[in-house]
């Protein structure tokens, strides 16, 4: 059993598990932090961005000034943003049988894999994962395609040139494999390969293993996966949450008794408690708006935004913010808000019960109804006529490199009355802000990550007790910035095995058993014999039939009919010869009685010697030895077959046959 | 004893003596005994018995062989003890041979009733009460009671056994105090017979091989040495210590726990205190040691902890660690202000330990050892320890500390105030501790302003406070406002503070919080606004920043709250602020004080909350004092109110009071259905009448028709019909009405608690009789 690790990002995993005869890809995350090296794509022409000076080498050489621009001491690539794909060279991805998706954030690299590697298998995911994943991809493609960029920078990627660049460009890894965003066509094609599954549904893969998605409590439709054969069980834990937010709670019990538990997708900000952060978010929002400033919340169009809107729903009246407009701008804003309301069966219990009242499960329906929350596909069109300040704007992309957020950063960045509040933990907010410097607006970092923290992980591992834990190497040591926090790492016994990008792990367990079925008529013919109380044995002669990784014992073909016609004879030619079955022997030979029997049968001059392993009965007259040991009996006589057969028959008298 | 009770007593005694009338409720007997104790403490028992012969009859009745309830028997024994505590009464009871018959072999002691633990307990308690004088000692010796007490030490009832031990200690102490001719000699051989007997018994027990007996003896000694430090106890110890030492040599040591207790009680107090303190400091020493950068950094606490193994024993699991640390901090907090606290007090190490603990809980400490990491993991996010440590840190602000530690204190406080993970209760404690540390920060001589360090801190603090005032959690907004009120009250007049505060959004946010949906927050916002406004720190209605703003002045804002808020707390807070403003001659109030007072009183009089009405009277009193020119508390440093003592006649001085309708308010309050309001009003009017008497007012309007109509109206008010207003009152009429009113009587009536009737002994006796149906009306049912 092997694990191929294709991604180095612990929360955007992409691993391939070889288990029995199957090759299973676990998640397909896309590392988008690479886009932080690029200049933002402004939706509206930005004189500031277009007038940034080109970057030149220390010696004044300016051959890169078309590709690289400088802003407040940082250098950015002036090109269409590119993404860092999962490793494609480590394993032939066309051999992947299935891809299991655990949540919509972990499928963003799917089009790259399904459309460009010769992949012919099936992708499994829950319905909300697919639908919201589609929205995220659609938004991404839309953000990038609607700002066409004439040039595509590639000079800087040259290894010799990259070495000369300032950090972080100099240290960016595998820049040659970075790719531009996929197209909507590729998205559609990739999504068409997905087969929908429900929680606890058992899916047979070629009869070899069974895979089952379990609720993971992190997002709508998010799952952990169980991959099991009859005698082995691997659990794959991806983004999971034990907090009570909107999704169905996490199913922990089904993870018990795993041989291996692959642990990924823990919280990225283990020191920030989501509750505290939500409070912080609300306080800062109110503080800004009360001072007449605007609040910008860069976010994904689904996920935490639902919880934030719910908190604000409860908070705005009490904070006297009822007259402040909330805007949600995304090409998929409408679909996201509406989708959230129709996936009732994937929601937590409280929200499910609302559906039967019937009421919309999320209160943002009421915010929309009362005109407190308005949503727009883009800042062009209706939005510009409705726009009123001070206001709160939720919009993407959290990287601040593309999407409507770029415009608001340019618009509001100059006033210290305004605030940008970062809630998504995926990007370093300082790096995200770098191309907007100098910036007057206030920046607040309130990362809200509801995924498991290390305390919860340690409780979970105690509860489910896997034999082995496998996790990204980042989880086996404290974060570099807090090296004294020994509590911020996975602590289990035996210690977790760690992996890093482009590494192949041999998982530490051997398969020892395989299940074989016996056909009923064959089973019927068995004659068990009790060897010891409670243990019976039976010999079985059968043909082992293996198909689709299932093993079946079938009755052996009947021996050829002696009077058969030509046709039959021919048929019997095909089947292998069936030798006459020799009986199996068991039991032990009591030496004294055996000697007596020999004497009764006319042998005399018998001598018995004890050896380390048993006895030697010596027939001196016949110059013959009978060597009796625990697990064998040998008759050694000199070319006297008659004598040997006689002695053999005497030995057999003492043994059981079956 | 009042005559009513005396009348009821014979019937009650008869009931008690009647075995057919069981007392269902023995709490009555306890109350009865308490009552008798009160009576005998105040007067002569002998007189009581002579005046109420039924009592002695009751006691004599107990001696007759009969089927009495054990409760009544026990009660009688205890009652006898209460009476016999006075020596003359003891003699009186002795004459009738009552005492030996009750407490001697002839009494319950030999009878079947003795099997009831309550009787044995009553017997002991009775003796305990009567053993107060030398006669009692002779009696105890004569009737052989001491031997019985010895045997009761091993009683099956723990209460009886323990009481027997206590009684022995008491008797020993009493006999060693000696007769009137001076204390007995310190030579053990010369001790009184009773003491000799008890000590002999103890010695015998200590030599015994039976652990229970040894335990009993040790317990008696522990109690003796714990309670009494007279010189004879030292002699006793010298005499007994070889025996105790002998116990220590045995293997296994018998009654080890009791032995430890004894040794602790005889240890020298000072040495013991130091040891106890060391034990108390141990957990904190562990914390410091586990996180110390360099060995020896924990200073004075260093000696109290051995190695990391100690840490593991003391703080093994989260529950144990948290519990121990919280208790330690709470004890130290209690110890700190006491005069007998250990000296030298390790202020700096304790400060360091508190800061370290807070850092550990927050995850900002950087422990150097494995134990430190372990502690960090145990304490991370632990709200209980955070609260205890913040409280302790606040208390430590009374002392000083090395400057670098104080800097750390402020840093850790700021960290807590900033952290989004601080729970509301923790945050509240952090605010309180911050205020205390700011108070204790060094002062520039001759100046009350914050020192430059504290001002720098304040500049960092205000943005945090600003954010906290916008918290979605109301408790946080509330504690933020309370903190602001405290700070403004203390430093509102100082330039540095004013400058920093006015540069922040805090005043504006406070004004907005007056409309908070949570009533507690509104109340705190009212208090804060009051304080800010007093100091001139409120944002002005038409500041250049808010041109044409529709903001109202704080006065009209608070008046609006007083008249419209649906909850009591904000209205009460508004009244407090108004009273304070009037007292301080607030600028908005001084402009037209009468209009202000009239407006507030009018709204307050209609308030449904009695505290608001009571506070209205407080405000009225302040106005009264200012008008009549006599401040309630003549303080030489108080700001003199603008109104000086009137030279004019009293009636004229009362004119402003009449104009603001103060009297209508006060009279209405006088008949308020809530007693505190009526009491306050009564006090106010009495104060005014005293004022009246002191000034020679010639006017008399006794017979004016106005007076009659006002008196008539007031009578209707008293009867509950307050619909009719009094109309405009003339000062003369008010004075006349005040003169004629029985305010003292009213005050007396109001002073009695509403259950004063139910609590009286008479009521108790009546209740007891009623339960057995003696009081008459039920007798008809008896056929």
DSSP string, A115-143: HHS---SEEEEEHHHHHHHHHHHHHHHHH
Burial tier of B300 (Cβ tally within 10 Å: 0-12, 13-18, 19+):
middle
Judge whether residue B443 has pLDDT over 70: no
Which residue, B498, B568, B481, is CA-closest to B538?
Answer: B498
Instruction: Compute CA A516 distance to the chain's CA centroid, rounded to the nearest angstrom.
Output: 29
User: Average of pLDDT values for A520-540?
Assistant: 86
What pLDDT sits at residue B308? 58
Pairing of strands A233-237, A223-228: antiparallel
- Chain segment A344-396, per-residue pLDDT in tens: 889 999 999 998 888 899 999 999 999 999 999 999 989 999 999 999 999 99
Instruction: Read off the tokens for A484.
Output: 């004294």
pLDDT classification of B297: cutoffs 50, 70, 90: very low
- Chain segment B11-63, per-residue pLDDT in tens: 888 888 887 777 667 788 888 999 999 999 988 999 999 999 999 988 888 88
User: Average of pLDDT values for A543-547?
Assistant: 91
User: Using CA of residue B373, residue B377, residue B383, residue B384, what is the dihedral sign?
Assistant: negative
Among chain A residues, CA nearest to B545: A291
If phi over 0 gives left and psi between -120 and 50 gives alpha, with beta otherwise, what is residue A177?
Answer: alpha
- Residues in A touching B517 (Cβ below 8 Å): 317-318
Which residue, A443, A447, A413, is CA-closest to A427?
Answer: A447
- Residues in A touching B480 (Cβ below 8 Å): none
Lowest average pLDDT, out of B75-79, B441-445, B675-679, goes to B441-445
Most confidently predicted of A450-459, B94-103, B374-383: A450-459
B510 touches chain A (CB under 8 A): no
Nearest chain B CA: its distance from A455 CA (Å) = 9
Going edge to edge, which strands form the sheet with A373-376? Answer: A373-376, A326-329, A392-395, A295-298, A419-422, A442-445
Which residue bears the tokens 């004569």? B142
Bond from prior residue into A358 cis (ω within 30 degrees of 0): yes
Which residue, A554, A551, A546, is CA-closest to A515?
Answer: A551
More confident residue, A412 or B716: A412
Nearest chain A CA: its distance from B290 CA (Å) = 13
A291 touches chain B (CB under 8 A): yes
What pLDDT sits at residue A274? 92
What pLDDT sits at residue B17? 85
Among chain B residues, CA nearest to A273: B421
Contact B420 A282 (CB under 8 A): no
Contact B472 A318 (CB under 8 A): yes
Judge whether residue A100 has pLDDT over 50: yes
Q: What share of chain A is helix, strand, coil (3-state, %, to 5)?
A: 30, 25, 45
A484 touches chain B (CB under 8 A): yes
List beta partners, residue A227.
A211, A234
- Chain segment B228-269, per-residue pLDDT in tens: 777 788 788 888 888 888 887 777 778 877 887 787 777 646
Nearest beta carbon to residue B367 from set A272, A277, A484: A484
CA angle B380, B384, B387 (to 5 degrees): 100
More confident residue, B656 or B388: B388
- Chain segment A131-152, per-residue pLDDT in tens: 999 999 999 999 999 998 877 8
Rounded to a whole number, what is the largest CA-CA distance in chain B?
Answer: 99
- Chain segment B517-556, per-residue pLDDT in tens: 999 999 999 999 999 999 988 875 544 444 444 557 889 9
What pLDDT sits at residue B632? 46
Judge whether residue A220 has pLDDT over 90: yes
Nearest beta carbon to residue A487 from set B377, B420, B476: B377
What pLDDT sits at residue B544? 46
Judge whether residue A322 has pLDDT over 90: no
CB interface of A with B, residues 463-482, below 8 Å: 482
pLDDT classification of A11: cutoffs 50, 70, 90: very high
What pLDDT sits at residue B542? 46
CB A652 within 8 A of CB A585: yes
Contact A290 B363 (CB under 8 A): no
Contacts across the A-B interface (CB distance below 8 Å): 71
- Whole-number Cα distances in Å, B699 to B238, B627, B695, B731: 84, 19, 11, 10
Contact A276 B422 (CB under 8 A): yes
- Residues in B touching A421 (Cβ below 8 Å): none
Nearest chain A CA: its distance from B365 CA (Å) = 8
Helix (H) or strand (E) holding B45: helix B45-51
Instruction: Give percent above pLDDT 90 in chain B.
Output: 35
Q: How far apart are CA B49 and CA A596, in angstroms?
A: 117
- Phi first, then psi, for residue B563 (nearest 5°) are -90, -15
Q: What is the mean pLDDT of chain B?
A: 83
Contact B470 A487 (CB under 8 A): no
CB interface of B with A, residues 429-468, below 8 Å: 466-468
- Residues in B touching A282 (Cβ below 8 Å): 470-472
User: Average of pLDDT values for A44-61?
Assistant: 87
User: Average of pLDDT values for B139-159?
Assistant: 89
Contact B470 A320 (CB under 8 A): no
- Residue to substitute from B292, B424, B470, interface A, most A β-carbons within 10 A: B470
Nearby residues of A283 by Cβ (< 8 Å), 6 or more positions away: B467, B468, B470, B471, B472
- Residue to substitute from B376, B418, B472, B477, interface A, most A β-carbons within 10 A: B472
Contact A277 B367 (CB under 8 A): no
CB A136 within 8 A of CB A303: no
- Residues in A touching B365 (Cβ below 8 Å): 484
What pLDDT sits at residue B449? 67
A284 touches chain B (CB under 8 A): yes
What pLDDT sits at residue B334? 85
- Residues in A touching B373 (Cβ below 8 Å): 484, 486-487
- Residues in A touching B363 (Cβ below 8 Å): 271, 482, 485, 487
List beta partners, residue A98.
A24, A122
User: Average of pLDDT values for B201-223?
Assistant: 91
Lowest average pLDDT, out of A27-41, A98-112, A580-594, goes to A580-594
What pLDDT sits at residue B782? 40
What pLDDT sits at residue B251? 72
- Chain segment B470-496, per-residue pLDDT in tens: 999 999 999 999 999 999 999 988 888
Q: How far apart are CA B408 and CA B424, in angstroms?
A: 22
Which residue bears the tokens 């057999």? A652
B250 touches chain A (CB under 8 A): no
Helix (H) or strand (E) holding A543: strand A543-547
> What ipTM did this prediction achieve?
0.72
Q: At what angle do helices B554-564 and B593-605 cross, to 10 degrees?
A: 20
Judge whether residue A556 has pLDDT over 70: yes
A287 touches chain B (CB under 8 A): yes
- Residues in A touching B515 (Cβ below 8 Å): 320
Which residue, A496, A483, A452, A426, is CA-closest to A270?
Answer: A452
CA angle A220, A226, A227 (to 5 degrees): 135
Q: How far apart are CA A449 and CA A300, in angstroms?
A: 13
Nearest beta carbon to residue B517 from set A272, A280, A318: A318
- Phi first, then psi, for residue A328 (nearest 5°) are -120, 110
Nearest beta carbon to residue A287 from set B376, B470, B473: B470
Among chain A residues, CA nearest to B379: A487
A307 touches chain B (CB under 8 A): no
Instruction: Give percent above pLDDT 70 in chain A.
Output: 97
Eight-state DSSP code of residue B267: S
pTM for the complete prediction?
Answer: 0.73
What pLDDT sits at residue B97? 82
CB A233 within 8 A of CB A464: no
Judge whether residue A477 has pLDDT over 70: yes
Which residue, A413, A384, A472, A27, is CA-closest to A225?
Answer: A27
- Chain segment A176-189, per-residue pLDDT in tens: 889 999 999 999 99
What pLDDT sits at residue B401? 82
Q: How far apart are CA A202 and CA A212, in angstroms?
A: 5
More confident residue, B22 or B389: B389
CB A238 within 8 A of CB A469: no
What pLDDT sits at residue A45? 86
Contact B467 A291 (CB under 8 A): no
pLDDT classification of B643: cutoffs 50, 70, 90: very low
Burial tier of B331 (Cβ tally within 10 Å: 0-12, 13-18, 19+):
middle
Q: What share of chain B is helix, strand, coil (3-state, %, to 5)?
A: 70, 0, 30
User: Average of pLDDT values for A145-166?
Assistant: 87
User: Average of pLDDT values for B102-121?
Assistant: 85
Contact B420 A273 (CB under 8 A): yes
Contact B512 A290 (CB under 8 A): yes
User: Average of pLDDT values for A489-516?
Assistant: 90
Among chain B residues, CA nearest to A313: B472
What pLDDT sits at residue A363? 92
Contact A487 B380 (CB under 8 A): yes
Instruction: Compute CA B439 distance to the chain's CA centroid, rounded to the nearest angstrom.
Output: 26
């Amino acid at each position: 059993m092997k694990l191929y690790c294709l991604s180095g990002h612990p929360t955007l995993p992409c691993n391939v598990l070889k288990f029995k005869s199957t090759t299973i890809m676990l998640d397909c995350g896309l590392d988008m932090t690479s886009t932080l090296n690029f200049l933002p794509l402004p939706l509206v022409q930005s004189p500031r961005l277009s007038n940034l000076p080109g970057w030149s080498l220390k010696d004044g050489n300016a051959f890169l000034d078309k590709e690289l621009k400088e802003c407040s001491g940082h250098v950015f690539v002036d090109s269409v943003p590119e993404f860092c794909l999962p490793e494609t060279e480590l394993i032939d991805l066309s051999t992947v049988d299935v891809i299991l998706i655990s949540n919509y954030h972990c499928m963003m690299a799917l089009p790259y894999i399904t459309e460009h590697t010769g992949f012919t298998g099936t992708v499994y995911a829950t319905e909300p994962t697919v639908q919201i994943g589609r929205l995220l991809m659609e938004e991404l493609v839309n953000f990038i395609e609607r700002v066409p960029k004439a040039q595509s920078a590639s000079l800087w990627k040259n290894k010799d040139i990259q070495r000369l660049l300032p950090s972080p460009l100099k240290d960016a890894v595998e820049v040659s494999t970075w790719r531009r965003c996929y197209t909507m066509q590729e998205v559609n094609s990739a999504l068409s390969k997905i087969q929908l599954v429900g929680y606890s549904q058992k899916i047979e893969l070629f009869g070899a293993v069974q895979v089952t998605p379990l609720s993971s409590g992190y997002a709508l439709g998010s799952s952990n996966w169980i991959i099991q054969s009859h005698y082995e069980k691997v659990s794959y834990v991806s983004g999971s949450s034990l907090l009570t937010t909107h999704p169905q709670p996490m199913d922990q019990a089904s993870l018990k008794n795993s041989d291996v538990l692959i642990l990924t997708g823990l919280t990225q900000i283990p020191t920030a408690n989501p509750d505290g952060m939500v409070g912080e978010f609300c306080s800062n929002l109110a503080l800004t708006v009360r001072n007449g400033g605007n609040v910008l919340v860069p976010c994904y169009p689904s996920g935490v935004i639902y919880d934030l809107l719910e908190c604000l729903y409860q908070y705005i009246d009490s904070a006297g913010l009822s007259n402040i407009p909330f805007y949600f701008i995304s090409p998929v804003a409408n679909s996201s808000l509406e989708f959230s309301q129709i996936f009732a069966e994937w929601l937590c219990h409280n929200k499910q019960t609302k559906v039967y009242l019937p009421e919309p499960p999320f209160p943002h329906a009421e915010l929309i109804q009362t005109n407190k929350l308005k949503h727009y596909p883009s800042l062009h069109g209706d939005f510009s006529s409705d726009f009123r300040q001070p206001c709160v704007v939720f919009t993407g992309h959290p990287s601040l490199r593309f999407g409507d957020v770029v415009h608001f950063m340019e618009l509001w960045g100059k006033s210290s009355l305004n605030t940008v509040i970062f809630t998504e933990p995926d990007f370093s907010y300082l790096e995200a802000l770098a191309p907007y410097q100098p910036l007057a607006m206030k920046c607040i970092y309130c990362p809200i990550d509801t995924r498991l923290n290390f305390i919860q992980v340690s409780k979970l591992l105690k509860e489910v007790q896997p034999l082995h834990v496998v996790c990204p190497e980042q989880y086996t040591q404290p974060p570099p910035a807090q090296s004294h926090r020994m509590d911020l790492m996975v602590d289990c016994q035996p210690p977790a095995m760690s992996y890093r990008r482009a590494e192949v792990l041999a998982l530490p367990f051997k398969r020892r058993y395989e299940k074989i079925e016996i056909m009923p008529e064959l089973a019927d013919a068995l004659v068990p014999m009790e060897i010891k109380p409670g243990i019976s044995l039976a010999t079985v002669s059968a043909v082992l039939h293996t198909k689709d990784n299932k093993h079946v014992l079938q009755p052996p073909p009947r021996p050829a009919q002696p009077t058969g016609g030509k046709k039959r004879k021919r048929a019997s030619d095909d089947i292998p010869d069936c030798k006459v079955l020799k009986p199996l022997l068991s039991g032990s030979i009591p030496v004294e009685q055996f000697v007596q029997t020999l004497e009764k049968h006319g042998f005399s001059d018998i001598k018995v010697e004890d050896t380390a392993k048993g006895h030697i009965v010596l027939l001196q007259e016949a110059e013959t030895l009978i060597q009796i040991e625990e697990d064998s009996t040998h008759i050694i006589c000199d070319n006297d077959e008659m004598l040997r057969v006689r002695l053999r028959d005497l030995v057999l008298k003492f043994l059981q046959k079956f | 004893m009042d005559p009513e009770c005396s009348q009821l007593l014979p019937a009650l005694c008869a009931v008690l003596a009647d075995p057919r009338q069981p007392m269902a409720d023995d709490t009555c007997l306890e109350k009865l005994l308490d009552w008798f104790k009160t009576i005998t403490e105040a007067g002569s028992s002998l007189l009581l018995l002579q005046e109420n012969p039924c009592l002695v009859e009751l006691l004599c009745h107990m001696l007759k062989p009969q089927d009495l309830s054990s409760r009544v028997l026990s009660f009688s024994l205890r009652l006898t003890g209460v009476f016999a505590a006075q020596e003359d009464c003891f003699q009186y009871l002795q004459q009738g041979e009552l005492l030996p018959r009750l407490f001697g072999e002839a009494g319950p002691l030999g009878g079947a009733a003795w099997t009831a633990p309550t009787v044995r307990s009553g017997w002991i308690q009775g003796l305990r009460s009567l053993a107060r004088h030398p006669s009692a000692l002779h009696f105890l010796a004569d009737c052989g009671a001491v031997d019985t007490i010895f045997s009761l030490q091993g009683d099956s009832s723990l209460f009886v056994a323990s009481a027997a031990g206590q009684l022995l200690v008491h008797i020993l102490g009493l006999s060693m105090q000696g007769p009137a001719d001076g204390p007995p000699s310190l030579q053990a051989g010369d001790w009184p017979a009773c003491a000799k007997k008890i000590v002999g018994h103890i010695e015998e027990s200590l030599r015994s091989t039976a652990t229970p007996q040894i335990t009993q003896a040790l317990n008696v000694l522990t109690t003796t040495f714990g309670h009494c430090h007279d010189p004879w106890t030292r002699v006793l110890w010298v005499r007994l210590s070889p025996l105790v030492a002998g116990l220590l040599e045995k293997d296994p040591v018998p009654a080890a726990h009791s032995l430890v207790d004894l040794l602790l009680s005889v240890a020298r107090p000072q040495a013991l205190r130091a040891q106890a303190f060391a034990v108390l400091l141990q957990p904190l020493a562990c914390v410091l040691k586990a996180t110390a950068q360099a060995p020896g950094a924990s200073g004075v606490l260093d000696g109290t902890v051995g190695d990391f193994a100690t840490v593991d024993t003391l703080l093994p699991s989260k529950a144990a660690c948290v519990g121990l640390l919280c208790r330690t901090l709470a004890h130290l907090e209690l110890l700190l202000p006491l005069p007998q606290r250990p000296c030298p007090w390790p202020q700096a190490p304790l400060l360091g330990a508190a800061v370290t603990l807070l850092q550990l809980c927050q995850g900002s400490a950087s422990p150097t050892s494995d134990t430190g990491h372990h502690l960090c993991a145990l304490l991370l996010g632990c709200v209980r320890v955070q609260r205890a440590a913040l409280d302790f840190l606040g208390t430590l602000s009374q002392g000083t500390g090395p400057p670098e530690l104080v800097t750390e204190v402020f840093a850790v406080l700021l960290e807590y105030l900033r952290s989004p993970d601080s729970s509301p209760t923790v945050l509240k404690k952090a605010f309180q501790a911050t205020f205390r540390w700011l108070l204790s920060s060094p002062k520039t001589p001759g100046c009350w302003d914050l020192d430059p360090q504290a001002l720098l801190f304040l500049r960092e603090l205000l943005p945090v406070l600003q954010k906290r005032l916008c918290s979605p959690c109301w408790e946080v907004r509330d504690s933020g406002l309370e903190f602001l009120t405290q700070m403004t009250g203390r430093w509102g007049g100082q330039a540095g503070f004013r400058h920093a505060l006015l540069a922040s959004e805090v005043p504006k946010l406070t004004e907005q919080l007056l409309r908070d949906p949570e009533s507690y927050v509104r109340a705190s916002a009212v208090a804060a606004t009051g304080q800010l406004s007093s100091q001139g720190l409120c944002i002005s209605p038409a500041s250049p920043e808010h041109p044409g703003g529709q903001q109202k002045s704080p006065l009209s804002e608070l008046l609006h709250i007083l008249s419209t808020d649906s909850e009591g707390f904000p209205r009460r807070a508004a009244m407090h602020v108004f009273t304070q403003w009037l007292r301080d001659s607030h600028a908005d109030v001084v402009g037209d004080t009468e209009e202000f007072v009239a407006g507030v009183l009018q709204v307050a009089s209609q308030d449904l909350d009695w505290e608001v009405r009571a506070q209205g009277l407080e405000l009225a009193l302040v106005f009264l004092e200012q008008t009549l020119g006599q401040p309630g508390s003549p303080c030489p440093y108080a700001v003199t109110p603008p109104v000086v003592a009137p030279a004019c006649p009293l009636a004229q001085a009362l004119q402003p009071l009449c104009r603001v309708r103060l009297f209508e308010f006060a009279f209405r309050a006088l008949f308020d259905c809530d007693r505190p309001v009526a009491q306050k009003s009564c006090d106010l009017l009495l104060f005014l009448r005293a004022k009246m008497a002191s000034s020679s007012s010639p006017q008399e309007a006794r017979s004016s028709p106005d007076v009659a109509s006002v008196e008539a109206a007031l009578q209707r008010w008293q009867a509950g019909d307050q619909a009719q207003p009094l109309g405009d009152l003339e000062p003369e009429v008010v004075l006349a009405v005040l003169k004629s009113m029985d305010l003292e009587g009213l005050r007396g009536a109001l002073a009695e608690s509403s259950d004063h009737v139910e609590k009286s002994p008479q009521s108790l006796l009546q209740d007891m009789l009623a339960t057995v149906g003696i009081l008459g009306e039920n007798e008809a049912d008896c056929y």
